[in-house]
Amino acid sequence: MKNKTSIQGSWASRWIFILAATGSAVGLGNIWKFPYITGENGGGAFVLVYLACILMVGIPIMMAEVFIGRRARKNPINALADVAEESGSTKKWGIIGLMGMLSGVLIFSFYSVVGGWVLHYIKVMLTGEMIGVTSDAAGSAFGALLADPATLLGWHTLFSIMSIAVVAAGINKGIETATRIMMPALFVLLIILLGYAMTTGGFAQGWNFMFEFDFSKLTWNAALVALGHSFFTLSLGMGTIMAYGSYMTKDASIGKTVLAIGGLDTLVALVAGLAIFPIIFSNGMDPAAGPGLMFISLPVAFGQMAFGQLFGVLFFILIAVAAWTSAISLLEPTVAFLIERLKIKRMTAAIGLGITVWALGIACLGSFSFMSDVTFFGKNTFDFFDYITANIMLPLGGIFIALFAGWVVKDKFAQDELQLPSAVFKLWNISMKFTAPIAVAIVLYFLINPMK
């Protein structure tokens, strides 16, 4: 292709791209969901299955997204259209990019609301409101927060502005600078909280919960959970990785880079589990408490422990950083599209998109109060956006990207970008044509028709 550089700029180094993509991948789900599903599905045995799924499904699709973005040097819609045209196919493949970008917009709208909850709890921990409170009182406080649209609006607005500001500043001054600060900060906070967890008396129990090899729990459902999470954890199907790939330098190895991202993403999730579960077990709490554990049980635990207030603040700052880096990546593909298609400045594109997602977020936060009666297929706005993106749009995007890379893109173009040894390229190609689309289709089926 003639266009060798993106008009948006490029990453300063391969490691900046790795950190940015890892920041996109590491979010609220990683820090709570992955450790929990690991403990519930066989510990170390589940981790092995999960890593196999990452290698067979997640990483191959991620490599496809990166090389498509880098080859075209454009936003996801135009990248898919241009690579399709180069391979002698229709430019209508760009519709996949449109679906991915729409997914990102819808996800941000409710993700920003949850990000607002996290910011609120930084304030709660700072002021010591949870010191000595009971679980019932903490539950009532969280319920009161959800029922208070004015407070939710304030935090949602702040989180939205934080995210929009970074994207508006551009690739180098915005996303890259934020990544250089936030990702090292995330790693440092994780290590500090891990050290704290080791002093709680529940570390051995937490370790066993996550890593004890229990093959009796490796059911078909456990394998499905591993397969599903291996796809979702890497931010696939929403155009983010394709957009980030378009800023990647030509000389950087896609294979090594994507493996590093997958490894870091998994490492952060595992360390987060080792930091969280000892606190849960040392306080006799239920690790299966779900979302309520983060906003009810853990604040109570921190409020009852030595130095708990300090480490409670650090914990919610950690969660906020993880949410922030993910939120930024949800906006970037659409901002890039608006800049390239409408020929407008990045600031204008970011603010315009920001106002749109902020307004959608109001509908999501209103799901718990003034818009609780507004439903779609029996779900409030918050739950509907979550369901349609996670259960339908992202899996469909993943399937089509795999099929596109395996059956539409000419092998010589894919290999020109990937630069893989011949045998490895053949394995990747088989994954794109058969393994990955079939695996994600299975995930899609069971998301829509869950096993009873």
| Helix, coil or strand: residue 82 | helix
pLDDT of the residue at 36: 77
pLDDT at residue 420 greater than cutoff 90: yes
Which of 228, 243, 209, 275 shows the shortest CA–CA distance to 41? 209
pLDDT of the residue at 231: 82
Name the CA dihedral angle for 264, 265, 268, 272, rounded to a multiple of 10 degrees.
Answer: -170
In contact, 393 and 63? CB cutoff 8 Å:
no
Q: Crossing angle for the helix pair 59-72 and 76-86, nearest 10 degrees? A: 80
pLDDT at residue 297 greater than cutoff 70: yes
Q: What residue type is 218 in one-letter code?
A: L
In contact, 354 and 156? CB cutoff 8 Å:
no
Query: Which residue has tokens 């109060």?
Result: 369
pLDDT digits (tens, 9 = 90+) for 143-196: 999 999 999 999 999 999 999 999 999 999 999 999 999 999 999 999 999 999
Give this prediction's pTM.
0.92
Maximum mean pLDDT: which of 231-235, 297-301, 374-378 = 374-378
pLDDT at residue 13 greater than cutoff 80: yes
Which of 404, 426, 423, 416 shows the shortest CA–CA distance to 82? 404
pLDDT of the residue at 20: 94
Q: Where does the pLDDT of residue 291 fall: very low under 50, low under 70, confident under 90, or very high at 90 and above?
A: low
pLDDT of the residue at 27: 84
pLDDT at residue 117 greater than cutoff 90: yes
**Separation CA 257–CA 66 (nearest Å):** 10
The residue ranges of every structural domain in the chain are 14-448
pLDDT at residue 2 greater than cutoff 60: no
Chain centre distance of CA 77: 21
**Separation CA 145–CA 161 (nearest Å):** 20
pLDDT digits (tens, 9 = 90+) for 321-357: 999 999 999 999 999 999 999 999 999 999 999 999 9
Q: Three-state SS across 252-267? A: CCHHHHHHHHHHHHHH
pLDDT of the residue at 296: 87
pLDDT of the residue at 210: 84
Q: Where does the pLDDT of residue 103 fall: very low under 50, low under 70, confident under 90, or very high at 90 and above?
A: very high
**Separation CA 208–CA 203 (nearest Å):** 9
Determine the average pLDDT of the residues in 107-136.
94
Q: Where does the pLDDT of residue 288 fall: very low under 50, low under 70, confident under 90, or very high at 90 and above?
A: low
In contact, 206 and 280? CB cutoff 8 Å:
yes
User: Distances from the Cα of 65 to the Cαs of 123, 246, 359, in angstroms?
Assistant: 38, 9, 30
Which of 294, 286, 274, 288 shows the shortest CA–CA distance to 130? 294
pLDDT at residue 126 greater than cutoff 60: yes
Exposed (0-12), middle (13-18) or buried (19+): which is 180, by Cβ within 10 Å?
Answer: middle
Higher pLDDT: 18 or 452? It is 18
pLDDT at residue 289 greater than cutoff 70: no
pLDDT of the residue at 96: 96
pLDDT at residue 40 greater than cutoff 70: yes
pLDDT digits (tens, 9 = 90+) for 440-450: 999 899 888 87
Alpha helices in 34-93 (DSSP H): 34-40, 44-53, 59-72, 76-86
The DSSP-derived string for 261-297 is: HHHHHHHHHHHHHHHHHHHHHHTT--TT-THHIIIII
Q: What is the mean pLDDT of the chain?
A: 91
pLDDT digits (tens, 9 = 90+) for 218-228: 888 888 888 88
User: H-helix or E-strand containing 376?
Assistant: strand 375-376
Higher pLDDT: 165 or 234? It is 165
Lowest mean per-residue pLDDT among 2-6, 271-275, 359-363, 384-388? 2-6
Indicate the CATH number of 14-448 among 1.20.1730, 1.10.1060, 3.30.300, 1.10.10. Answer: 1.20.1730
Report, in angstroms and rounded to the nearest whole number, the Rg of the chain calculated over CA atoms. 21
Cα-Cα-Cα-Cα dihedral sign, residues 41, 42, 46, 47: positive
User: H-helix or E-strand containing 379?
Assistant: strand 379-380
Residue-level length of the chain: 452
pLDDT at residue 32 greater than cutoff 80: no
Q: Where does the pLDDT of residue 201 fall: very low under 50, low under 70, confident under 90, or very high at 90 and above?
A: confident
Q: Which two tokens stand for residue 293?
A: 């554990």
